[in-house]
Amino acid sequence: MTRVGIGYDSHRLAPGRPLILGGVAIDSPVGLEGHSDADVLTHAVIDALLGAAALGDIGTHFPDTDERWRDADSIALLEQVASLLAERGHAVANVDVTVVLEQPKLAPHRAQMVDRIAAALGIGADRVSIKATTGEGIGFIGRGEGAAALATAALEPAH
């Protein structure tokens, strides 16, 4: 049986923070604020995967009330989720992510982000899709106050 999940995350942008998306540091005067590295792309993927497996959400496994996860590398968290899924007999079929952010442009970083997510999940880059769009000047994203990501993931039985 194929299982499908959806994940969503958003964070505020703040000066003095690194901008990490898909495990890639992107040159920017502002970064995402959060307990961990605030990588909205990776967090959305984690929630989509956990949702597909009916294993809760990122806050269940890595609560922001636990100091162990302060400034955590979200790719390392994704690797832990991939291990949990494998232990439960799930294999990742694919993930698809849309990041919503006004600035900077993500196209120059897309291939590297795909490679980081694919490697963390132990799947081919051809099973990871990352797209970017803007808020078209509307809402908190359009005003440059934050970023969001929406992900879908499909799991299949491990062979």
Q: Under a CB-based contact definition with an 8 Å cutoff, are residues 38 and 11 in contact? A: yes
Structural domain count, the chain: 1
- Residue 8 — pLDDT band, cuts 50, 70, 90? very high
Please provide residue 130's backbone torsions phi and psi, each rounded to the nearest 5 degrees: -130, 125
> What confidence tens digit (pLDDT) does each residue in 50-101 have?
999 999 999 999 988 988 888 899 999 999 999 999 999 999 999 999 999 9
Structural domain range at position 102? 3-157
Residue 159 pLDDT: 80
Confidence at residue 69, expressed as pLDDT on a 0 to 100 scale: 87
pLDDT digits (tens, 9 = 90+) for 86-141: 999 999 999 999 999 999 999 999 999 999 999 999 999 999 999 999 999 999 99
Q: If you write DSSP's letter for every residue of 70-86 in order, what string do you get?
A: TT--HHHHHHHHHHHHH
pLDDT-based confidence at residue 153 (cuts at 50, 70, 90):
very high
CATH code assigned at 53: 3.30.1330.50
State yes or no: pLDDT of 24 exceeds 90.
yes
C-alpha 90/C-alpha 157 separation (Å) is 5
Contacts of 92 (CB under 8 A, 6+ apart): 49, 82, 85, 121, 122, 123, 127, 153, 154, 155
